[in-house]
Amino acid sequence: MQPIPLNQYVINIRRFDPEPGGCERRGSFALPMPPGARLLDALETIKAEHDSSLAFRRSCGHGVCGSCAVQVNGRNMLACRTLMKDLPHQTIIEPLQGFPVIRDLVVDFDGFFDRHDAVMPYLVNNEPPPQRERLQTQTEQERILEPITCIMCGCCSSSCPIYRADGEYLGPSALLKAARFISDSRDRAGGERLDKISGPDGIWRCHGIFECVESCPKEIDITGRIGELKRLAVKKAFSGGKKP
Ligand code: FES
């Protein structure tokens, strides 16, 4: 059997050591990788064979959990869904921008999750439950199909210049979560959620830059969804505050 040809890559990683006396530095690793290898494989090879102190997150390895998001040559992507053959031979890996760095490629998601909490990221319905389940028509289901594919990897919020500059802005990910529940026919808290996202740190801070859409690994039209929320908020304001 012919041996698999290996391509040579140089992976430059922006690293950060939080220990006293530690600092920010760049780690450079020359790696031979097979063409079908993923960036996550490269990171695991570095950790196993070159430097076991390298810190990064991963869990599912298949684009489901959202934990392996990093910045690759300036674009946010999932390491487990990025093929080495699609990257240049010199590649720069950095932690997600707009998040405090804990160590190397591991960032702090606390503020990100706090913003999700602020939009009530759960179904609210106090009506007595039906015998079996709260049914939806196919059309009602289709309205939430796109936003429920969000894996909360943080790529969208990190790529948004407003999110990075304004520590209070809810950001595309939390606003998408609000859209997901506001569009859900079974939910009864749409009006309350709209009020929460219509303040100075909500939907009106989005300037339609589309960076979030560009970086979403699930190709969700996040800017379009925020636009829908803006229309609903205006409708609500003109209907005397009633739920649109
Ligand atoms: S490891 Fe789960 S999305 Fe990449």
Compute the distance from residue 198 Cα to the ligand 1 centre, in Å: 32
Task: Establish whether residue 61 lines the binding site of ligand 1, counting it when its CB lies within 6 angstroms of any ligand atom.
Answer: yes
Compute the distance from residue 4 Cα to the ligand 1 centre, in Å: 26
Percent of the chain with pLDDT over 90: 87
What number of other Cβ atoms are within 10 A of residue 182's Cβ?
26
154 sits in the region (left: phi over 0; alpha: psi -120 to 50; else beta) called left
Candidate from 41, 43, 68 with most ligand 1 atoms within 8 A of CB, to mutate? 68
Read off the pLDDT band of 4 (50, 70, 90): low
Q: What is the DSSP letter of 83?
A: B
Q: What is the pLDDT of residue 243?
A: 55
In this predicted model, what pLDDT tens digit does every residue of 116-158 receive, in sequence order? Answer: 999 999 999 999 989 999 999 999 999 999 999 999 999 999 9
Instruction: Give CA–CA dist 106/58, Å, rounded.
Output: 10
Read off the pLDDT band of 1 (50, 70, 90): low
Q: Residues 199, 201, 202, 206: is their CA dihedral positive or negative?
A: positive
Tally of structural domains, the chain: 2
Compute the distance from residue 218 Cα to the ligand 1 centre, in Å: 12
Residues 190 and 145 in one domain: yes
CB of 201 within 8 A of CB of 168? yes
- Strands 7-16 and 69-72, by their bridges, are unpaired
Read off the pLDDT band of 21 (50, 70, 90): confident
In this predicted model, what pLDDT tens digit does every residue of 159-176 receive, in sequence order? Answer: 999 999 999 999 999 999
Task: Establish whether residue 65 lines the binding site of ligand 1, counting it when its CB lies within 6 angstroms of any ligand atom.
Answer: yes
52, 82, 107: which is the final residue of a domain?
Answer: 107
Residues 224 and 119 in one domain: yes
Compute the distance from residue 99 Cα to the ligand 1 centre, in Å: 18
Residues 119 and 226 in one domain: yes
Q: What is the pLDDT of residue 241?
A: 61
28 in helix, strand or coil?
strand
Domain interval for residue 124: 110-238
For residue 244, pLDDT over 60 is answered with no
In this predicted model, what pLDDT tens digit does every residue of 46-77 receive, in sequence order? Answer: 999 999 999 999 999 999 999 999 999 999 99
CATH number at residue 43: 3.10.20.30
DSSP alpha helices (H): ranges in the chain?
Answer: 39-45, 110-118, 138-145, 155-159, 161-165, 171-182, 190-197, 211-215, 222-238
Residue 114 forms part of a structural domain: yes
Residues 130 and 91 in one domain: no
149 in helix, strand or coil?
helix
For residue 2, pLDDT over 80 is answered with no
Report which protein residue has its CA nearest ligand 1's atom 1.
61
Residues 128 and 229 in one domain: yes
Task: Establish whether residue 218 lines the binding site of ligand 1, counting it when its CB lies within 6 angstroms of any ligand atom.
Answer: no
55, 72, 107: which is the final residue of a domain?
Answer: 107
**pTM for this entry:** 0.93
Mean pLDDT of 174-201: 97
Q: Which residue has the higher pLDDT, 95 or 7?
A: 95
Mean pLDDT of 20-33: 88
Residues 99 and 126 in one domain: no
Compute the distance from residue 60 Cα to the ligand 1 centre, in Å: 5
- Strands 101-103 and 90-94, by their bridges, are unpaired
Q: Which residues pair with 75 in a beta bridge?
A: 72
Percent of the chain with pLDDT over 70: 96
